[in-house]
Every structure is written in structure tokens, then in C-alpha cells.
Structure 1
Amino acid sequence: MAELTRAIGLMSGTSMDGIDLAMVETDGDCVVRRGASSFTAYEPAFRARLEQALDAAREIGAREERPGDLAALEAELTDRHAAAVEAFLAREKLSPDAIGVVGFHGQTVLHRPHEGLTVQLGDGQRLADRLGIDVVHDLRANDMRLGGQGAPLVPAYHRALAAGLEGDWAGKTPVIFVNIGGISNITYIGEDDTLIAFDSGPGNTLIDRWVKRHAGVPYDSDGTIASEGRVLAGLVNRYLDHPFFTAPERISLDRNDFPLPDDSEASLEDGARTLAFVTAAAIAKSQAHLPVKPKLWILCGGGRHNRRIVEDLTVATRHTGQLILAEDAGFNGDSMEAEAWAWLAVRSLKGLPLTYPGTTGVREPATGGVLARARA
């Protein structure tokens, strides 16, 4: 067996709710030993600063630019990630020397694939120096330089997990991993190991923004608000008529690509219910871009905690395969993206591909990432 590297992955997604951390031991290929994980929530004031950063980031024309408060915010964000790692190591009674590498995603504040521009706040060298651990960061940029969309990056890890499915799920292909974060994306693994992945539409971002505007809460816990509402067919049809869904090619989405409904169009409850339905319908609609209908759907990400999304997706996919939660297959649906970032960091160190033509549209399989070595 190839030598295994113990790695930590850090993920702060489009929901901007906090830092997911996960540890794995891996050869960067098919051997994945999943370890402990943690979540560090952002308090409302810091989350509000991140949301304001999206407006400031619109002025960015080159990746290194940090207009307004972005430079100071980047430093604080990095320090918060460092503190999360330090707390995790203390909890697990591990020294920094026990970790081979940290995979650092940072916080995406701008993603314009049509311009070849993506910006993630996060200072890899600052993180490496504070932790005393080498850090791999900026994993999307090389893919975009080579003609890719820069997202999604998790699919290669999904394929590694699929290879290890056991029991009732072993060999059940084609299999789809559905990740519902701020944006939803899917990974398709075919019987011949074909790998296809793309963003499928809005995930939690519209629901989160809607309930925050109308109820002052950051998200619809368990779909409780949506459970009191009804689906507004006209609003659903307007979303699903968006050019994203009718275009022959898949593109990577930004959280601002889909606008919220006007306040007059729906009540709090009807808006939450309708947007949950849109999330599920968009995922089901993505099957039109797959070569073969899946036999198994594995649901990951925060959206699997919204029971209305899960129920709608179960109904929408009932004729095309069985839908299960990540935990039913022995995975952790909350830490999977952070695990992926740890795994991708090890692959980056070895110069192995992170993205493929079928996942991001890159011209050929491409590695990526920038290595920041810890300085004494």
C-alpha cells in the first residue's frame, strides 16, 4: 500500500455559516480513512461582514485585488481558520507535526467562470506560518487557466468514496452524489467509471436569504418554515425557465446568479416552500444532461437537513433510482466537502489531477493548488 498522509481539510462554503474541518488519512487515490471532524460557526456580525464582502468583490478585476475592507477581512478569516485547526488539534490531542498538509478552501467572494476569474479570500502563507503546517490553497485557479469552470472540485473525491461503497450499495452504478450547499451540484459515476459533474442550480442560498429577509433567521431549520407554506407554481416555472436550465452546456454558478422573488410575490412560508421545491426540481431536471439514469442517489450537504427538499427530491427521482442520505452509506454528509479538500491537498502535493473535462470542462485532466510551506 502507498504511504498515507494525514491531512486536514477546511471548507467555508457559499452559505457562509462557518468553518467545516475534517481529517483524513489517504494516499490521494482510492485509500481514504475518514477521521474526526468539527464545525466552527461564524457569529452573525462576522457573517454579515462576509455577505457585505460580496458587494465589495464586484469591483475586483484581477484576482489579487482586495478593494475596501477585503484585505483586513481576509486576514481575520485566515486567523479564524487557524484558530479552528488549533482547537481541533487540542481536542484530538495531536501536535502540528502529526499533520502532513492542510487543504484550505477559503471563502469565495467572486466567481465568474465566463471571465476566467475566481476569488477566494484566505491567505495560505499566513495560515501555514501560524499553524506550522504546510498548506495547499488556491485549488481552483489552474483549472480556470486551462479552460475549466473552476468548479465543482469535489467530484474526484466522490468517485473515490463510491469505489468504497459496501453492503447493499456496493456496485450500484450509475451512482449520483448530490451536494446541496449554497449552490447544488451533482457528481455522476457511471458503470465504466465515467465521471460527470456540474452545478445543478440554487441550493440553500435562496432559502437562506429569503428567511433572513423576512424572519431574521439565518436558515430554515429542518424546513420548518417551508412546512407551513405552499408551492407557487408560477414562481417555480419562472425559476426553471431560467437560461441556465435550457442551455446545452453546464456552467458553474455564483450565489447571486438567481435573484430572490420580490417581497410582494410570496409570504414568508410560501416563499420558503417554493424555493425548497425549486432546489429539488432543479436537481431532478439535471438528469437530462446524464448519459444513463442513476440507480442510486446519495444526498450530502446542509440541504439534506431540510425535510421539504428531501421529500420533494424523493418524489422527483422515484422512477430513476433510490435516494439515500450520506449517512445511510456510512459517510458524513456535513464534513464531506472538508474531507475532499484534505484529499485534494494530498493529490496536489503529488501532482495528480484534481479536475477533469467531464467535471469542470477543463481541456485535459489538471492538477492545481499553491503550496505554502510553513516558515520557522
Structure 2
Amino acid sequence: MAEPVTAIGLMSGTSLDGVDVALIETDGESVAGFGPAATYPYAPEDRALLVRAIEDAKPLADRTARPGVLAEAELMLTARHGEAVARFVAAHPRAAEARVVGFHGQTVLHRPEIALTVQLGDGVGLAKALRAAGLRPGAELVYDLRAADVAAGGQGAPLVPVYHAALAKRLGLALPMLFLNLGGVANITYVDGENDPIAFDTGPANALVDDFMKERTGVPVDADGACAAAGKVDAAALARLLAHPFFAQKPPKSLDRNDFKTFAAEHAGLAGRSTEDGAATLTALSAATVAAALPLLPHRPRAVVAGGGGAHNPTLLAMLAERLGVEVTPADALGLSADAMEAQAFGFLAVRSLKGLPLSFPTTTGVPAPMAGGISVTLR
């Protein structure tokens, strides 16, 4: 292992809940250790602005354009990331010595079929904020990590699999194994210890349930899956939803957070069902679409590790275990962090980017050859 460096990873995911900040020690190939991590929630008005930005991004054809509220949202998002790092450094002073920062930004549109992916976030502006937050001059900020892959013909997602492969080396679980990320969208990484990881998005994880709960209750989450646990799955509605051709489509494949929003509204028929039954049905959909991905893998996984917000939902985890026929272990139970994993990954990817190492592979995004990526700016 080469000499590890201290890196900060920043992630704002499709659940739109806040800014995740995590410290990691890595050489970009292996993980030497984990530092502290924290989530800084968005205020309700910030989240509402991001929701509006996603709507305004729908007609975009130019990834640099910022019509409607997109410019305002980008300023807010960049400021919130700077504030999050400042709070993180104040709480964990050794973070100020980080040599690398990986900045994912906020995805507001993902349309790889037209070679377009859009992440809000001003890298140059954030670099200035990071200096004000106490990070040392000479540190490198790496951002815009998906664009090169999409420009080369890849899906641009998922990008975390190469980090999952590094984690698999630390865990020593039976192979092949599956990492399952349960954010707004669900994606899997298949690791066999010999070949490049295989990865793809499987379907909605929390996005449909969150939107449904927001509409019904005003709160955009089914906390601990309690509502779904109290409901009954509508088997007919689930069958209609599973008929979507995406679920049987061979990888590579990736999703935008809202790809199933209209389809679910048209085919789920949940308007006349109780909130509990609706939550149960949409949660079952998330589990069923992961199960539908197993036939697309070379071999059945012998272990499954769950991360992302959905890893805290016992109802979803139980449905997954039942449908997969494999025990699903939350990342936290293995000494990892379900909440920090993606932020850690972008610190790891930033180090890889600076070394010119590939972030994505033909088996993860469908890019023609292993692909490096990212733009770096030096803190002054």
C-alpha cells in the first residue's frame, strides 16, 4: 500500500436530506482507516429549493446551463457545503490537515442516453470556502467526477463500486458478495475478488416512498419503515410496477431519481389505498427490484452488505432478505458506516482522480475502457 493521505469526502444524495462529510485515510487503492463523519441536514427551504431545481433541470440540454432556480440552488448548495466543512473542522480539528477533498455536488438531471449528467456545485467557489473553513493552502478539491465517463459513452453511475471493492478486501466476507446502496435510487456492486466489480442501478430505493410519504403526511420519510410495516402489500400493483422494462434490462444501466415517478403514479393505483398499504407496496417494490437484478449477475452472492439511508429501515431489510434468500447485513454491523459510505467513497475517488487512476469500468458504467475523471482546483 502506498502512503495514505487524509481525504474529506462530501456527498449530497438523491434523498436530498443534507450534506454528508466524512474523513478517510487512503491511497486511492486501499483503505487505511476511517475518521469521523457527520451529516448536516438541509433546512426545509433548502430542500424545497433543490426539489424545484430538479424540476427546472428536466428540459436541460446543456450541462452548464442554469435556468430557472438552478443558479440560486447552486449558490445555496455550494454555500451549505462550505458551512458543513467549517462545522466539521471546528468539531474535528485534524480534518483541517486534509490534503484532498472530493465534492460530488447535487445531481439534478441524469440522462446518460443523451450523454448528459448535471451536478450542481461550484468547485472554484467551494475551494474558496474551504480555505475560509480552515483547510490548508495547497490542498486539492476534486469535483465533477461523472462527466468524463458520460462523455466517453458510459452511464456515469454508479461511481462508488471501486470503493466497495476496496472495502471488500478489509471485510474478508465470503465471496462473491454484494454491496447494496439504498439511497433515493438503489444500486448494487458485485465483488468476486478477482475481476473488476460489476455494478448498476436496480431501481427506486427510498425516492418513491419518500415522495409518497411527503404527499400523504407532509414528512418525506417513512421513519424506520414503521408505516410500511403496518400496511399490506398490494400484489397486483406490485406486479404492474415490476413490468417496467428497466428491471429486466441487462447492465450497464443507471437511473435519475425521478425516473419512476410518473410510471408509479400511472400504474401503482395507490390513490385509493391507505398510507400504510401504499408505503408497504412501494417498499416491496424496492426489495423486489433488487431481487430482479440477481439473475443478471455471474453467480449468486453469498453475502449482502447494505448502506445508505435505507439500511436503517428494518422493514425494507426484512423484505430484501426474504426476496434475495441471503442475509442482508447493515454496514454498521460490520464496522462500516451506512450513512458515511458514499461520502467516504468520494474522498477515495478524489485521491484516485489526482493519481489518474480509473473511477469507472466497462463492468460498472459501460464506459468503453477504464476511465479516470474529475476536475481539480488547488486551495490558495
TM normalised by structure 2 equals 0.94
- Quote the Cα distance in structure 1 between the aligned partners of 2:252 and 2:374: 24
Per the alignment, residue 357 of structure 1 pairs with: 362
Structure 1 equivalent of residue 211 of structure 2: 209
Match of 1:57 in 2: 57
Q: Partners of 2:2 and 2:66 in 1: how far apart?
A: 41
Aligned partner of 1:217: which letter? V
Partners in 2 of 1:77 and 1:325 — Cα distance?
29
The answer as to 2:225 corresponding to 1:223 is yes
Distance (whole Å) between structure 1 residues aligned to residue 174 and residue 112 of structure 2:
33
Residues of 1 paired with 2:247 and 2:80: CA distance? 37
Q: 1:322 to 1:194 in 2, by over 3 A?
A: farther
Listed as ranges, the matches of 1:90-109 within 5 Å are 90-94=90-94, 96=96, 98-109=97-108
- Aligned pair in 2 of structure 1 residues 131, 191: CA closer, same or farther (>3 Å)? closer
Report the alpha carbon displacement of residue 370 of structure 1 after superposing the two structures with TM: 0.4
Shift of 1:356: 0.4
Moved over 4 A (4+): none
Unpaired segments ≥5 residues, structure 2: 132-138
Tell me the C-alpha RMSD between the 2 structures.
Answer: 1.3
Deviates more, 1:180-189 or 1:309-318: 309-318
Q: TM-score, normalised by structure 1?
A: 0.95
What amino acid is aligned across from residue 101 of structure 1 in structure 2? Answer: V
Matches within 5 A, 1:49-198: 49-94=49-94, 96=96, 98-132=97-131, 133-165=139-171, 170-198=172-200
User: Structure 1 unaligned runs (5+)?
Assistant: none
Q: Percent identity?
A: 48
Shift of 1:34: 0.9
**Contact 2:23–2:37 at 8 Å: present in 1 too?**
yes
Letter in 1 for 2:155: Q
Quote the Cα distance in structure 1 between the aligned partners of 2:250 and 2:194. Answer: 24
Q: 1:246 aligns with which of 238, 245, 248?
A: 248
Residue 290 of structure 1 corresponds to which residue in structure 2?
Answer: 297
The size of the alignment, in residue pairs, is 368
- The CA deviation string for residues 266-311 of structure 1, in whole angstroms up to 9 with x for no partner, is 2211110000111011111100110000100001110111121111
Q: Matched residues in 2 for 1:194 and 1:52: separation? A: 38
Residue 48 of structure 2 is matched in structure 1 by 48
Name the counterpart of 1:28: 28
For the pair 1:337 / 2:342, whether they are aligned, the reply is yes
CA distance in 1, matches of 2:152, 2:184: 26
Task: Determine helix, strand or coil for the equivalent of 1:130.
Answer: helix
2:136 corresponds in structure 1 to none
